[in-house]
Amino acid sequence: MAYISLYRNFRPIKFSDVIGQDHIIKTLKNQVVANRVGHAYLFTGGRGTGKTTSAKILSRAVNCLNPQDGEPCNECEICKEILEGSLPDVVEMDAASYTGVDDIRGIRDEVNFLPTKAKYRVYIIDEVHMLSGGAFNALLKTLEEPPEHVKFILATTEPQKVPVTILSRCQRFDFKSISNDNIVKRLKEICKKITLEADEDALYLIATLSEGHMRDAISILERCSQEGKEKVDISLIRELVGLPKTIYINKISNAIIEKDVGEALSIISKILEEGKDLEDFLWEIIKYFKDILVYKSTGIISSYSKEDIENIDIISKKINQRNILNIIYRLSDIENDIKWSNHKTIMFETGILRLCDNEERYDQDFVEKNQNFDQKESIKEKQVEKIIENKKESQEKNSDLSQIVNELKKMKMIRWAILLSSARIEKKDEQNWDIIFENGLDSINKKIVDEMKKDDSLKEHIKKITSKDININFVDKKNTNGTNKVTNNDLGIDINIIN
């Protein structure tokens, strides 16, 4: 007998078996019971969340000879033939393979014929957003006025690509990502049925890696089951999916905190020798510091072994929350640097070396002025907006600078915008401005000024607002002992840092 993958073997065959979509399942069952099933549905959501599975269950429920509380019996002749895929009245097609007008015209011609055996002819069109414009037009008329014996169930991961004319003719159901708890619950059931022993922490790691997609979680579990191990644990999962060992993450995180350059470079060398992806490694470090922050704040953490939690506890006592945030921001900068670089290893190593530099200073100003940390579990951009909004009153008194700040915000140049929002302008004449910082410029802000002089963007935004080439002096009011003038001829802007 041919091998059947776990996710197919354990695909739900009743509504009650579908995990994490109770808001949808309840409605569908009620419609079946009340005999008020719509003529067209659109199921949207991420991969592996139950769209196609629910569509198949619904196709059986509306045709079942012995339905039970809105559920298909899965025992009658009709249900069995649909489960086997042999009933011609239920047609499942993948729009990624059948995208043309002729494919949909074939459906349009078929719908006029009565079902051969079942009560309804049901069409399940998966990844419907892949249809061509002509195919959507061919489908539109049928969806608008379908025969009573026809039901359409469309499924897609990208509803924004489906024409509004199609959307308006369907009942839309949005399938949400499945929670880790629900995924773990389902994985435990599968492990029990296939007699596979697995640590609960390992199952939570699988759930975390699957990011709310049940099919992905079951696929990872299947890979673990095929390794021939007596027990599935965290180390096995990390090895199979290519994640660096937690001990490496712990050691390099500790090296960053202790500013141990030698240890940090040693760990990076080991990671490269094992052929691990540096971007994945960096993401794991960022996530690790996030978990340290969560543990330090709440004392609770999951997806780690007992030994790993003990190591996290040791690290959490060496650093405060503010400095953890600071490190996360700096790691995010490294991530942005290596993403577009052709020399990822060099950029990664130099970035970590900077973090281990004894002269690097952790300060609150850096944290407050760099709230643009853009990654899955980052502080949201709204917090950045709030910081800038606090400067609104002073910006209103300085309209030119306010316009410059707003332009920088639109271009997502948040660090520049934050710095300039704390300043004021004094115009010596029409082409010479002083941008004055009453509270002074620290070393971090001076580095931001250095970035400005290397980039054409500031000149372009100012010229867009004023229609003039402006010479700019940045003035540090807290330190006026001398003047360090830097001129960038490529920009055409004179930048004076008075200090």
DSSP state of 243: P
Q: Across the strands, what pairs with 151?
A: 122
Q: Is there a contact between 366 and 332 (Cβ–Cβ < 8 Å)?
A: no
CATH number given to 246-360: 1.20.272.10
Are both 6-175 and 180-241 of the same fold?
A: no
Cα 268 to Cα 53, 200, 242, 277, 482: the distances in Å are 44, 30, 15, 11, 43
Q: Could you tell me which CATH class the domain 180-241 is placed in?
A: mainly alpha
pLDDT values of the chain reduced to their tens digit, one per residue, 499 residues: 567 788 888 899 999 999 889 989 999 999 999 999 999 999 999 888 999 999 999 999 999 999 989 999 999 999 999 998 889 999 998 887 777 787 788 888 888 888 988 999 999 999 999 888 888 888 887 888 888 899 999 999 999 999 998 999 999 999 998 988 899 999 999 999 888 888 888 888 888 888 888 998 999 898 888 887 778 888 888 778 777 778 888 999 999 999 988 899 899 888 888 888 888 888 889 989 998 998 888 888 766 777 888 889 999 999 998 899 999 999 998 888 888 788 888 888 888 888 887 555 444 444 444 444 444 444 445 554 555 554 444 444 456 677 777 777 666 677 777 777 777 777 777 777 777 877 777 777 777 777 776 676 676 777 777 777 777 777 777 765 444 443 333 333 444 444 4
Alpha helices in 194-277, H assignment, sequence order: 200-210, 214-225, 234-241, 246-258, 261-273
Q: What is the pTM of this model?
A: 0.59
Distance, in Å, from the CA atom of 218 to the CA atom of 214, rounded to the nearest integer, reads 6
Pick the CATH number of 6-175 from 3.90.700.10, 3.40.50.300, 3.30.200.20, 2.60.40.1220: 3.40.50.300
Nearest to 454 by CA among 410, 490, 429: 490
Distance, in Å, from the CA atom of 31 to the CA atom of 12, rounded to the nearest integer, reads 19
Q: Give residue limits of the domains in the chain.
A: 6-175, 180-241, 246-360, 381-498
Handedness of CA 364, 365, 367, 371 (dihedral sign): positive
Nearest to 300 by CA among 308, 288, 287, 291: 291
Q: Burial letters for 276-302: b for 16+ Cβ neighbours within 10 Å, e otherwise? A: bebeebbbbbbbbbbbbbbbbeeeebe
Amino acid occupying residue 492: G
**In the block, which residue shows the tokens 């937690």?**
246
